[in-house]
Structure 1
Amino acid sequence: MTRSRTRTGTRSRTRIRAALVAAVATALLAAPGIGTAEAVPSPDHHCVFEGIDLNAFLGVSERLIGPPPCREAFVGERWVRTLPGWGTATGPDGAVYPAGYTPSRPAPMDDFLAKLQGVRIVQDIGTRQEWSVTVGPEIVRRVDTVDDQIIANFASHPLRPLSAGPHTSTVFMRLSAEHCDGLGDNPDDHCLPAGEFQYTGNTPVTFFPRRR
């Protein structure tokens, strides 16, 4: 039976922000100034989120779609879906789990990576033009230690262009078994279910005709 849980709250946003800010602090990438959303996409493919160049951080040359400043592309342009990172306790020492839960690996991040089967990215969910693509565990592009957490960061392979106009992009994650992050004992806040579940909301995406 498929269970659905959307991971789009403050905790997920805080995790990806923490990973990116830490990358700046350790000089892993150059951080351009924060830009504002434009009416049409910039010819520059780079996605800047909270001052961080996500393309450089994730090693992606194509246009990224995911966080609020980066939800527009040109017709005919291939794009890459990113999604909020998943953080866990740094190791087995001090990890806190809900009652009755036993991880399959001592370190919580190793437990998550061992259970991750991939994601299903659905475009225009619930409409006649709905289509989806499945990406395996290679959706994880990098794993970083940030203060008291380890964070897995995600990006898909390049996806085919969408038609002109508004669309949605929804990500479902697949795990072989339940995973808990070791950061607390409330399963609603700290665990992901076995099977397929909704990981993001219906992210709005707009594709624009190219300027002549």
Structure 2
Amino acid sequence: MNRARTLAVAVVVPCLLATVAAGTATGADVPAPAAAPAARPSVPHCVTMDGSDLNELYGVKYRIIGPSTCRTAVQGEKWVRTVSPWFTAPGAAGAVYPEGYRPSRPDPIDDFNSKFVSATYIQDRGTAQEKSITFKRKEVLRTGFVDPTSGLSYSAAVSPPLKSLAVGLHTSTVLFTLKAEHCDGLGTVREENCLPAGTFLWAVDTPFEVVPRPGQPAGS
């Protein structure tokens, strides 16, 4: 043990013992240490049909709304929206593109990341309750992932925590904005392998439900 730390312990421990002994001798009560606040219970993780734990994968501590297995939020709790990721060829070697397309970065996933501008989240699109919020690339884009089965690279948009909604049924729509056309390096068909410049729909009117907190009526 470090010598300075050993000396400090040698001095402090006898002092503590003397203090406790004095309190016992005089009948004084020694106050019990304050109880630590109860930890907030962790939310159930979002596990996809293929067994992927999205909370673990993306490092999210909030309830996730996105895949068909994760469509329930809880009243009063913030939640996070995920959508299907974008896959590309693993690198420049072997990447193929539609005629005339020239990527801005050698690796297709870097080309996508460099052109990604923002993601827009619309709640209850087309209703009187419609609200939308846009987050810039640095706030939502997660990258550096490789699919273990296919070996493809991918990036995913993961929203910051969103405000709780009223109890009941809702929808969530997600739009992406790119500053230029991007192609994934996996094929030569623009309609299948490329994303356009500008803003476009990525996930349309995904339904989900907000339920009351356990033991609390829906209207409270």
Q: Which range, TM-score by smaller chain?
A: 0.7 to 0.9
Cα distance, 1:113 vs structure 2: 0.5
**What residue is the counterpart of 2:146 in the other structure?**
145
The alignment partner of 1:153 has SS state of strand
Tell me, in whole angstroms, the C-alpha distance in 1 between the residues paired with 2:71 and 2:143: 22
Distance 1:142 1:92, change over 3 A: closer
Within 5 Å, which residues of 2 pair with 1:62-81? 62-81=62-81
Cα distance, 1:136 vs structure 2: 1.4
Moved more, 84-93 or 142-151: 142-151
Within 5 Å, which residues of 2 pair with 1:6-155? 44-49=43-48, 50-138=50-138, 139-146=140-147, 147-155=150-158
> What is the aligned length?
171
Kindly report structure 1 stretches of 4+ aligned residues shifted beyond 3 Å.
none
**What residue is the counterpart of 1:24 in the other structure?**
none
Tell me, in whole angstroms, the C-alpha distance in 2 between the residues paired with 1:85 and 1:104: 20
Tell me, in whole angstroms, the C-alpha distance in 1 between the residues paired with 2:204 and 2:144: 23
Tell me, in whole angstroms, the C-alpha distance in 1 between the residues paired with 2:52 and 2:146: 17
TM-score by length of 1: 0.77
Identify the match of residue 178 of structure 1 among 175, 178, 181: 181
Cα distance, 1:102 vs structure 2: 0.9
Cα RMSD between the aligned structures? 1.5
8 Å Cα contact 1:143/1:153 also seen in 2: no
Q: Residue 95 of structure 1 aligns to which amino acid in structure 2? A: A
The alignment partner of 1:189 has SS state of helix
Using CA pairs under 8 Å that are at least 6 residues apart, name the structure with larger relative contact order, 1 or 2.
1
Alignment of 1:168 with 2:167, yes or no, is: no
Which of 1 and 2 has greater Rg? 2
8 Å Cα contact 2:119/2:177 also seen in 1: yes
Cα distance, 1:154 vs structure 2: 2.6
Q: Percent identity?
A: 47
**What residue is the counterpart of 2:204 in the other structure?**
201
The alignment partner of 1:121 has SS state of strand
TM-score by length of 2: 0.74
The structure where strand makes up a greater share of residues is 1
Alignment of 1:190 with 2:189, yes or no, is: no
Cα distance, 1:52 vs structure 2: 2.1
Tell me, in whole angstroms, the C-alpha distance in 2 between the residues paired with 1:169 and 1:84: 13
Distance 1:206 1:93, change over 3 A: same
Tell me, in whole angstroms, the C-alpha distance in 2 between the residues paired with 1:53 and 1:95: 30
Q: Residue 179 of structure 2 aligns to which amino acid in structure 1? A: S
Cα distance, 1:153 vs structure 2: 2.4
The alignment partner of 1:162 has SS state of coil
Q: Residue 62 of structure 2 aligns to which amino acid in structure 1? A: E
The alignment partner of 1:135 has SS state of strand
Q: Residue 176 of structure 2 aligns to which amino acid in structure 1? A: M
Tell me, in whole angstroms, the C-alpha distance in 2 between the residues paired with 1:141 and 1:60: 12
